[in-house]
Structure 1
């Protein structure tokens, strides 16, 4: 089997979880290879995401590592057997790899939470808003490339618009709603779309107003994607070269707590809709 030249974030997550299980069991790669009846380089390739692993071998590894969580093992097997080739593959070689990993993560997510302070979250953006944003952030982009990014962002909305959409929560600061990324018409249309989407039963939008006392913020924007089991949750934050994927349990727990704190101080959904409607009327 040929080695992968560029594993996806999902393939790397499976690899990392298998390495963590081995290390928790106190075994070296060579010892794990002996127990499985393969060579040490094969274990190294699996743990580097360079090659896949069969269900039989994965379950044997989990048994050798004495993993006490059968639900977690089943979830890993599901990842190992997944052969999804989604729409995002059409952008391979056209967009940086992390921007292919993001829609793949969303496709498999059980739910998604967003927190944003400067921009309307991507899944809620209109084409005109996204176009103005990409054009401003990347002024060197030719029109054709800007349109490619806009198209990619619009296609990502499938996870909240498909017949079986994922539950989606967005907490948005008033600043993000007031910053006029495009012109007045585009800003009004953007607020209208947020209102329209927030009426869906699986979508919750909450606003943090400027006049909230005692709110110290939550750093930069955050995406929290639920996995098939909590141990496979993922946080995505913006980095200098694109999305950064975080999967260490201690950090996941911190971000879960952070989201709940931010959600708790935001306006209730009905009051948030009233607030956004008022902002739209001011435009």
Structure 2
């Protein structure tokens, strides 16, 4: 039953959903343990993500809690199956080299049904050219060693593979003009990055929309946001960039608020075709 420690964000999320299911029907840990034929400590450890749980057990617990949402239960059961094969995922080879939050983000992107991000001063990580990635990480404080720098560059470049494949998520990237004009590296490299951005916008599953300075203020202007859609809305997650890495939010109120934030920001953005023209105009200014 034991899994590697610390649990990933998705592992914690699975446990948290089981806890919400229990609390929704008003059962204590002790009462739930008796209902499931196990002990209070096991229920607590599963809900905290410290212990694994099988897909069959997820379905049994959901039935014991009288959960009526079949799609939600199916999605949780799939998460339970995924966690048993977690060591096979490509990002696990970076576990001793990168912060856990970076691995959690790659895992969420891998399983996402859709992605919608808002970037203010940096271009979206999944759309960054290798030279741009390297220039961004050269600004890290404290400075990275050459080995650590290359590990981060390699990892971010490998994350871009999520855009490929038959089941690639639908992605919408809202990019502020500030991110297009921010100088990370020489003008020639920035031109190459913007050209890469235009090439990525040709993908059927990628939509880029630019918010020019002229659009004025907007909600959450001080931070970048990524809204990761799960197989059902209850399993959506918001990822925020913070000085120490990433913060992950999943409470219903947080999800609703950030959907509203992104909706309002998108209303102020140019359409996809005018956005491409805007990017070309920025390239000509370099």
Report the TM-score when normalising by structure 1: 0.96
Quickly say closer, same or farther: Cα 1:263–1:131, change in 2 above 3 A.
same
1:222 aligns with 2:205: no
Determine helix, strand or coil for the equivalent of 1:168.
Answer: strand
In 1, Cα distance between the equivalents of 2:39 and 2:217?
A: 57
User: Which residue in 1 is equivalent to 2:26?
Assistant: 26
Gaps in structure 2 of 5+ consecutive residues: none
User: Which residue in 2 is equivalent to 1:50?
Assistant: 50
1:260 aligns with 2:263: yes
For 1:84-103, list aligned pairs within 5 A: 84=86, 85-103=88-106
Report the TM-score when normalising by structure 2: 0.95
Q: How far is the alpha carbon of 1:141 from its aligned partner?
A: 0.9
User: Which residue in 2 is equivalent to 1:128?
Assistant: 131
Gaps in structure 1 of 5+ consecutive residues: none
Q: CA contact under 8 A between 1:205 and 1:269: conserved in structure 2?
A: yes
Q: CA contact under 8 A between 2:225 and 2:240: conserved in structure 1?
A: yes
Map Cα deviations across residues 215-239 of structure 1 (whole Å, 9 max, x no partner).
4653300011100101000000012
Match of 2:146 among 127, 143, 146: 143
User: Which residue in 1 is equivalent to 2:11?
Assistant: 11
1:39 aligns with 2:42: no
Quickly say closer, same or farther: Cα 1:132–1:213, change in 2 above 3 A.
closer
Determine helix, strand or coil for the equivalent of 1:136.
Answer: coil
Q: State the aligned residue count.
A: 283
Quickly say closer, same or farther: Cα 1:139–1:181, change in 2 above 3 A.
farther
Quickly say closer, same or farther: Cα 1:151–1:272, change in 2 above 3 A.
same
User: Which residue in 1 is equivalent to 2:81?
Assistant: 81
Q: How far is the alpha carbon of 1:131 from its aligned partner?
A: 0.4
Q: How far is the alpha carbon of 1:214 from its aligned partner?
A: 5.3
User: Which residue in 2 is equivalent to 1:200?
Assistant: 203
Quickly say closer, same or farther: Cα 1:129–1:139, change in 2 above 3 A.
farther
Q: CA RMSD in A?
A: 1.4
Q: CA contact under 8 A between 2:174 and 2:211: conserved in structure 1?
A: yes
Q: CA contact under 8 A between 1:218 and 1:258: conserved in structure 2?
A: no
User: Which residue in 1 is equivalent to 2:180?
Assistant: 177
Q: How far is the alpha carbon of 1:162 from its aligned partner?
A: 3.0
